[in-house]
Amino acid sequence: MKNTYPRPQLKREQWQNLNGSWQLAFDDRNRGLKERWYEKTTLPDNMTIEVPFSVQSELSGVADKDDHPIIWYARTFDVAMDHPRIILNVGAIDYEADIFINGAHVKHHRGGHVSFSVDITHVVKEKDNTIHIRVYDDMHDIEIPRGKQYWKSESENIFYTRTSGIWQTIWLEAVPRTYIKRVKMIPDILTNTIKIGFYLNRAAQATLKTTITYQGDPVVETEKKLDVDYYETVCFLGKSNDQDDKRLWTPEHPNLYDVVFNLKTDEGTDVVESYFGMRKISIEKGQVMLNNRPYYMKLVLDQGYYPGGLLTSPNDDAIKNDIELTKQMGFNGVRKHQKIEEERYLYHADRLGLLVWEEMPSAYKFSSKTMKNLTDEWQRAIDRDFNHPAIVAWVPINESWGVPNLISNEREVHFLEALYHLTKAKDDTRLVISNDGWEHGTTDLLTIHDYEADERVLRRRYENIDNILSSIPGHHLLYNAGFQHQGEPIMVTEFGGISYQNAKQAGWGYSSAENDDDFIARLKAVFKPLYASDHVQGVCYTQLTDIEQEINGLLTFDRQPKVPLKTIKAIVNNEND
């Protein structure tokens, strides 16, 4: 069971994990609402499931890949916390959920990739509570953000086993009547300040104390009386000097400040622990900069699938292991491909030091429904993950998925432009890649997907800017009509994809290696031409691990290196033979 605190950037002492054994029922004939299953102690079918693993996963104990569009969950719980308000938090449910507490409907939620919460104080009791969750997930709907989840029963090609139902932690927390719903923290390394916005659940006469420390040493403490539901303050972290420069966050030195927020009213106190990193990502004169210094991103494509758990990590150690293996191979970041990661992953990326590109899972048909589904969920993802210093780029669209006719359909171009500007309006402190891979509109980076395996071809293609801009890797133009290169930094954000079967799993890749030596030679052949280019400012190799029928990982699906880690690291770091 996953039992670690699920939201480390807004942590409270009083919380209660609802993961574990739940009742489960498939409602293939859509009888549950009519028969009021939400009022019954026992669901039909006498099945159980281990939450938070999806019904398709082995770790759920169900491993059912058949088409079940409606799924019901149920369990009982007591409330072992003493604050007056009880909040139910849900990591993620795919795709549409209705939640009932003691027979009362308390929440309807759409969106399979982001967290949500609901105040259940008015319906919950101290003992003998029931929770029922009705999930609707249409496996054939390609107008919802699906990512790599296939709309067929068996995975194939680049698509994998889908995820239905609860797939991230469900938990309760106890809060006072007035509490902090969210904080938004914006670092400014020039002035050495952190701007903090506080979102409260209600306006009340309160005292808000903020205490910031660095490695246990006091930095600043402020106290403010307020009577509003939103408050903003700027905290000065001290005079900048060489010592303070060492406190900046980088993958090599992931320095973090700890912070405690204390909101006190006559009715109680809300104490919340959090943290932040002083980090700036920017583009200056066509150069990618981290903390005002040129920085070469060496990323690996990471789709976040796990043996047994699919999109859900089996435990916290599995998350940390992935990050540590990534760094041991010489990479300083990941492009989380077609997945909004659970907050524990982002927490460990912050703590261990790993750049993260966060990418919205795609739909596969353009329509008004697609636009609404995508924009609604994408905005919630940005809001939830805004404070993580590890995240340096947002990617709303990948390879024109969901907007397949950009060359001929002006509405799709308008939507792509709207997504870029919406993302930039939500967060102008990070890079935004409009359409990773090709057919760019307005974008902060020109990103290219190129699975060419011939070293000579790659050297010619990337040896000068004219060759790069006139190339059509993957048979797609780099820019949409009416758009052209404006000096944006260039990165090759998918390449390699070399398949190598050195375990039992058979499958495919974009090119194939026969043995260890051949695999190493092929890795060098795709890395070296990109590093030799004066115009490529970063790379992202495909991919971290094998996944089901794809065997183009540097690691097998069970995280075993295909060749020694130090050998991969030497190639990734462009060290001499």
Q: Give the model confidence (pLDDT) of 458-509 as tens digits.
A: 999 999 999 999 999 989 999 999 999 999 999 999 999 999 987 777 777 7
Asked if pLDDT for residue 152 goes beyond 60, the answer is yes
Residues written for the chain: 577
Count other C-beta atoms under 10 Å from residue 6's C-beta.
Answer: 24
CATH code for the domain defined by 180-276: 2.60.40.10
Tens-place pLDDT, residues 8-35 = 999 999 999 999 999 999 999 999 999 9
Residue 153 is predicted with a pLDDT of: 80
Asked if pLDDT for residue 180 goes beyond 90, the answer is yes
Q: What is the DSSP letter of 362?
A: P
pTM equals 0.96
Q: What is the DSSP letter of 46?
A: G
The percent of residues in the chain predicted with pLDDT above 70, rounded, is 98
Residue 380 is predicted with a pLDDT of: 97
Q: How confident is the model at residue 304 (pLDDT cuts 50, 70, 90)?
A: very high
Q: How confident is the model at residue 242 (pLDDT cuts 50, 70, 90)?
A: low
Residue 534, C-beta contacts closer than 8 angstroms, at least 6 positions apart:
none
% helix, strand, coil for the chain, step of 5: 20, 35, 45
Fold of the domain built from segment(s) 8-175 = Jelly Rolls (2.60.120)
Residue ranges of alpha helices (H) inside 159-279 are 242-245
Residue 509 is predicted with a pLDDT of: 77
Tens-place pLDDT, residues 384-426 = 999 999 999 999 999 999 999 999 999 999 999 999 999 999 9
Mean pLDDT of 240-267: 88
Tens-place pLDDT, residues 334-384 = 999 999 999 999 999 999 999 999 999 999 999 999 999 999 999 999 999
Residue 512 is predicted with a pLDDT of: 87
Q: How confident is the model at residue 54 (pLDDT cuts 50, 70, 90)?
A: very high
Q: Terminus-to-terminus CA distance in the chain, angstroms?
A: 45
Q: How confident is the model at residue 82 (pLDDT cuts 50, 70, 90)?
A: confident
Residue 449 is predicted with a pLDDT of: 97
Distance CA 227, CA 384 (A): 25
Cα separations in angstroms, 453 against 388, 430, 515: 35, 32, 16
**For residue 441, which of 406, 476, 493, 402 has the smallest C-alpha distance?**
406
Distance CA 2, CA 170 (A): 10
* Domain range annotation of the chain: 8-175, 180-276, 281-572
Tens-place pLDDT, residues 525-540 = 999 999 999 999 999 9
Tens-place pLDDT, residues 86-142 = 999 999 999 999 999 999 999 999 999 999 999 999 999 999 999 999 999 999 999
Asked if pLDDT for residue 45 goes beyond 60, the answer is yes
Residue 2 is predicted with a pLDDT of: 82
Asked if pLDDT for residue 542 goes beyond 80, the answer is yes
More confident residue, 2 or 453: 453
Distance CA 417, CA 439 (A): 12
Tens-place pLDDT, residues 157-178 = 999 999 999 999 999 999 999 9
Tens-place pLDDT, residues 183-225 = 999 999 999 999 999 999 999 999 999 999 999 999 999 999 9
Q: Superfamily for 281-572?
A: Glycosidases (3.20.20.80)
